[in-house]
């Protein structure tokens, strides 16, 4: 198994495990805290996403530069100095943002969110604890991207899996045995943030090769990378606006309990992002190395193989989740009111995330080249057009109108990626459209659609789960066998002679 495949598998296992834990524990959080308090948890997740723009492109810059430097001899000192330089900046930002959240907690409690059952004082204390958790959580992103740049995905996902398990189990036990309050929940997040960030920082520093001198802050290194970081800042700001505007708008316009329902739907849809990140997290450093080595032939092969592999693991899950959204929500929450309320919104959000996920591989290639103009332009146009639409439809149609605008926005981003082929991998656009996108999508729609039509009504939960698993297995298998690069990879692994003949 090659490095790219091994890292992708490690990412897939780690992220699926973390998301599976979320699906196990979220119904318990709702049981102990109530849906309105869970809406406050959703507000914290949204806040983290929005304030992620203050990353200023630093983490992605570290990922790209560590990957590039790792392909060059004698770069050990530069890697360590770069990490130390960016680390100092990152912690300064984390401190400022954490203090700002703490300071604004009265404003958020009194003037932004709309609690009904929770007291304003409870919300204020919860937001203040969010600031403290953010202070320790924010630097984790830098170390995670650094480990991915070093292609240490196995180590990274092991750490993430252990921390996520401790986080979920600990939260449930504290809410059950100590205090079923939002303050207790967020205090535990503070403790876990310290643990997770500390361990990941230690892992990254020990993954870098030793050098003669101690790492130090160097302005010269920042001058070398500032253009890429500035470009990524533009991407980050516009991405945050377009990708998270739905939740920011809804947190202001709708009651906290309705926002909690939307958060549940968004949680289900964003589970797909674990599949996307498992592939892009391994592919982006590999693309960067092939670009710096100027190996365009290998880059084309790796690019199409990665696109098809993502389609095979993402599309079957996404389409089945969209077609069976009511059944999945019901199996998850065992609550008919929740299933009736959010299943349509969930289906729409899932399709949107699938489309955005497919666009992530072309975007990763652009990152490897340091060419961010296309994504930045698309995000700016989307912000101008779609954010006002989100405000309008959220006011008139609530959460379902918001979800529809968000899905269309992701479709536009996917279509914009076609422009890339006029600059990089020229002549590969047709192959991407036909083989990497339309072929697997057609197979998935046909097979999963038949599964939906044959689904018996009123199935017991266990049989319903088994049926969905079988539909997924058949759909994923058919898609893998119909997608050339994936088929050859599978056959060459298990039937070497057959794979060679097909290739």
DSSP letter assigned to residue 432: I
Residue length of the chain: 503
194 and 276 co-located in one domain: no
Chain centroid to CA 324 = 22
Give the closest residue to 310 by CA, choosing from 486, 63, 494.
486
Q: What is the longest distance spanned by two Cα atoms in the chain?
A: 69
218 and 278 co-located in one domain: no
Predicted pLDDT at 503:
42
DSSP letter assigned to residue 254: S
Percent of the chain surpassing pLDDT 90: 26
Contact criterion met (CB below 8 Å) for 111 and 251: no
Residue 87 in tokens = 């680390």
Q: Kindly report the CA angle at 238 between 235 and 240, in degrees rounded to 5? A: 100
Predicted pLDDT at 502:
43
Contact criterion met (CB below 8 Å) for 39 and 260: yes
Cα separation of 11 and 86, whole Å? Answer: 25
Specify if 240 maps to a domain: no
Contact criterion met (CB below 8 Å) for 22 and 267: yes
279 and 379 co-located in one domain: yes
The pTM assigned to this predicted structure is: 0.68
219 and 288 co-located in one domain: no
Domain boundary among 190, 225, 260: 225
State residue 478 phi and psi, 5-degree precision: -65, -40
Specify if 74 maps to a domain: yes
> The domain containing residue 455 runs over which residues?
271-503
432 and 491 co-located in one domain: yes
Predicted pLDDT at 31:
82
Sign for the CA dihedral angle at 159, 76, 69, 92 comes to positive
Domain boundary among 210, 225, 240: 225
Give the closest residue to 341 by CA, choosing from 268, 448, 243, 251.
268
209 and 277 co-located in one domain: no
* Number of separate helices (H) and strands (E) present in the chain: 20, 0
198 and 346 co-located in one domain: no
Residue 312 in tokens = 């095979």
Give the closest residue to 350 by CA, choosing from 405, 407, 394, 401.
407
Contact criterion met (CB below 8 Å) for 308 and 486: yes
**Lowest-pLDDT range, 164-178, 242-256, 271-285, 329-343?**
242-256
Specify if 276 maps to a domain: yes
The number of distinct structural domains making up the chain is 2
Specify if 175 maps to a domain: yes
211 and 290 co-located in one domain: no
14 and 89 co-located in one domain: yes
Cα separation of 205 and 150, whole Å? Answer: 11
Specify if 123 maps to a domain: yes
170 and 280 co-located in one domain: no
Specify if 259 maps to a domain: no
Residue 421 in tokens = 């082929």
317 and 449 co-located in one domain: yes
462 and 326 co-located in one domain: yes
Using pLDDT thresholds of 50, 70 and 90, give the confidence band for residue 197.
Answer: very high
pLDDT tens digits, one per residue of 407-420: 998 999 899 989 98
pLDDT tens digits, one per residue of 98-135: 899 889 888 888 878 777 777 888 888 888 999 898 89
Domain boundary among 187, 208, 225: 225
Phi-psi region of 214 (alpha: psi -120 to 50; beta: other; left: phi over 0): beta
Cα separation of 248 and 253, whole Å? Answer: 9
For residue 27, how many other CB atoms are within 10 A of its CB? 16
pLDDT tens digits, one per residue of 421-480: 888 888 889 999 999 999 999 999 999 999 999 998 777 888 888 999 999 999 999 999
Section 178-203 average pLDDT: 91
Specify if 235 maps to a domain: no
pLDDT tens digits, one per residue of 45-71: 777 777 777 777 788 788 878 877 877
């Amino acid at each position: 198994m090659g490095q790219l495949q091994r890292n992708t598998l490690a990412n897939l296992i780690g992220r699926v495990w973390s998301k599976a834990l979320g699906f196990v524990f979220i119904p318990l959080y709702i049981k102990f805290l109530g849906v309105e308090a869970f809406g406050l948890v959703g507000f914290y997740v949204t806040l983290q996403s929005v304030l992620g723009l203050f990353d200023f492109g630093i983490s992605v810059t570290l990922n790209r530069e560590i990957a590039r430097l790792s392909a060059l001899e004698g770069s050990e000192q530069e890697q360590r100095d770069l990490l130390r330089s960016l680390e100092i900046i990152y912690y300064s930002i984390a401190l400022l943002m954490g203090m700002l959240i703490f300071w604004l907690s009265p404003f958020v409690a009194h003037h932004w969110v709309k609690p009904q059952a929770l007291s304003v004082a409870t919300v204020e204390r919860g937001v203040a604890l969010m600031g403290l958790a953010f202070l320790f959580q924010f630097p984790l992103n830098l170390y995670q991207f650094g480990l991915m740049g070093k292609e240490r995905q196995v180590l990274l996902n092991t750490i993430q899996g252990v921390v996520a398990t401790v986080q979920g189990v600990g939260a449930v036990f504290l809410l059950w045995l100590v205090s079923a309050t939002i303050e207790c929940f967020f205090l535990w997040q503070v403790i876990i943030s310290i643990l997770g960030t500390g361990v990941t920082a230690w892992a990254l520093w020990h993954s870098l090769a030793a050098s003669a001198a101690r790492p130090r802050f160097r302005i010269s290194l920042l001058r070398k990378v500032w253009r890429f970081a500035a470009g990524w800042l533009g991407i980050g700001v516009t991405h945050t606006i377009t990708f998270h505007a739905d939740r920011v708008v809804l947190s202001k316009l709708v009651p906290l309990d309705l926002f909690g329902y939307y958060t549940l739907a968004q949680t289900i849809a964003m589970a797909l992002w674990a599949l996307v990140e498992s592939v892009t997290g391994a592919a982006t450093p590999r693309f960067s190395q092939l670009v710096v080595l100027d190996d365009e032939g290998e880059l084309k092969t790796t690019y199409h193989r990665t696109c098809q592999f993502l389609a095979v693991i993402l599309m079957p899950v996404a389409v089945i989740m969209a077609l069976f959204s009511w059944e999945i929500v019901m199996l998850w929450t065992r609550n008919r009111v929740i299933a009736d309320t959010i299943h349509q919104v969930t289906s729409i959000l899932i399709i949107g995330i699938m489309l955005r996920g497919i666009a992530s591989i072309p975007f990763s290639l652009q990152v490897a080249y340091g060419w961010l103009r296309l994504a930045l332009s698309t995000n700016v146009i989307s912000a101008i057009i779609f954010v006002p639409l989100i405000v309008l439809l959220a006011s008139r149609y609530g959460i379902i109108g918001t979800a529809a605008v968000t899905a269309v926005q992701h479709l536009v981003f996917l279509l914009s990626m076609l422009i890339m082929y006029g600059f990089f991998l020229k002549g590969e656009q047709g192959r991407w459209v036909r083989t990497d996108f339309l072929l697997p999508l057609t197979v998935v729609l046909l097979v999963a659609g038949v599964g939906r039509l044959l689904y018996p009504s009123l199935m017991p939960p266990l049989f319903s789960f088994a049926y969905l698993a079988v539909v997924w297995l058949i759909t994923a298998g058919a898609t893998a066998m119909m997608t050339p690069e994936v088929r050859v990879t599978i056959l060459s692994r298990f039937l070497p002679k057959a794979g060679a003949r097909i290739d």
